[in-house]
Amino acid sequence: MAKTVRVELRDNESFEALLKRFTKELQKSGVLRDYRAKRHFVSKSEQRRAKMRKAEHRRRRKLAKLAKKGQNLL
Protein backbone atom coordinates (compact mmCIF):
# COMPACT_ATOMS: atom_id res chain seq x y z
CA MET A 1 0.00 0.00 0.00
CA ALA A 2 1.73 3.13 -1.24
CA LYS A 3 1.02 6.45 0.39
CA THR A 4 1.56 9.51 -1.73
CA VAL A 5 2.77 12.73 -0.19
CA ARG A 6 2.31 15.68 -2.45
CA VAL A 7 3.02 19.38 -1.98
CA GLU A 8 2.82 22.07 -4.61
CA LEU A 9 4.88 25.23 -4.79
CA ARG A 10 2.90 28.24 -3.58
CA ASP A 11 3.27 31.76 -4.97
CA ASN A 12 6.51 33.41 -3.78
CA GLU A 13 7.47 30.31 -1.76
CA SER A 14 11.14 29.46 -1.45
CA PHE A 15 12.48 25.98 -2.08
CA GLU A 16 13.48 25.72 1.60
CA ALA A 17 9.90 26.45 2.71
CA LEU A 18 8.56 23.91 0.22
CA LEU A 19 11.03 21.30 1.46
CA LYS A 20 10.08 22.03 5.08
CA ARG A 21 6.37 21.63 4.26
CA PHE A 22 7.08 18.38 2.40
CA THR A 23 9.06 17.02 5.34
CA LYS A 24 6.21 17.85 7.73
CA GLU A 25 3.66 16.13 5.49
CA LEU A 26 5.94 13.10 5.21
CA GLN A 27 6.14 12.87 9.00
CA LYS A 28 2.37 13.24 9.42
CA SER A 29 1.62 10.59 6.80
CA GLY A 30 3.77 7.99 8.58
CA VAL A 31 5.57 6.86 5.41
CA LEU A 32 9.03 6.99 7.00
CA ARG A 33 7.83 5.26 10.18
CA ASP A 34 6.36 2.42 8.12
CA TYR A 35 9.50 2.15 6.01
CA ARG A 36 11.75 1.94 9.05
CA ALA A 37 9.48 -0.63 10.68
CA LYS A 38 9.50 -2.86 7.61
CA ARG A 39 13.21 -2.51 6.83
CA HIS A 40 13.98 -5.73 8.70
CA PHE A 41 11.88 -8.81 9.25
CA VAL A 42 10.56 -9.13 12.80
CA SER A 43 8.87 -12.35 13.85
CA LYS A 44 5.50 -12.38 15.57
CA SER A 45 7.05 -13.39 18.89
CA GLU A 46 9.58 -10.55 18.68
CA GLN A 47 6.76 -8.11 17.90
CA ARG A 48 4.81 -9.39 20.89
CA ARG A 49 7.83 -9.10 23.21
CA ALA A 50 8.52 -5.55 22.01
CA LYS A 51 4.88 -4.63 22.55
CA MET A 52 4.99 -6.04 26.08
CA ARG A 53 8.23 -4.18 26.84
CA LYS A 54 6.68 -0.91 25.67
CA ALA A 55 3.57 -1.52 27.76
CA GLU A 56 5.68 -2.27 30.84
CA HIS A 57 7.73 0.88 30.26
CA ARG A 58 4.54 2.97 29.94
CA ARG A 59 3.13 1.38 33.10
CA ARG A 60 6.28 2.13 35.11
CA ARG A 61 6.42 5.71 33.88
CA LYS A 62 2.77 6.20 34.79
CA LEU A 63 3.33 4.74 38.28
CA ALA A 64 6.37 6.96 38.81
CA LYS A 65 4.38 9.99 37.71
CA LEU A 66 1.53 9.11 40.08
CA ALA A 67 3.98 8.51 42.96
CA LYS A 68 5.62 11.87 42.32
CA LYS A 69 2.21 13.55 42.18
CA GLY A 70 1.28 11.88 45.48
CA GLN A 71 4.42 13.23 47.17
CA ASN A 72 3.60 16.73 46.00
CA LEU A 73 0.17 16.52 47.63
CA LEU A 74 1.58 15.71 51.09
Stated pTM of the model: 0.55
DSSP assignment of 1-65, as one string?
A: --------PPTT--HHHHHHHHHHHHHHHTHHHHHHHHSS---HHHHHHHHHHHHHHHHHHHHHH
pLDDT tier at 73 (50, 70, 90 boundaries)?
A: low
pLDDT tier at 1 (50, 70, 90 boundaries)?
A: low
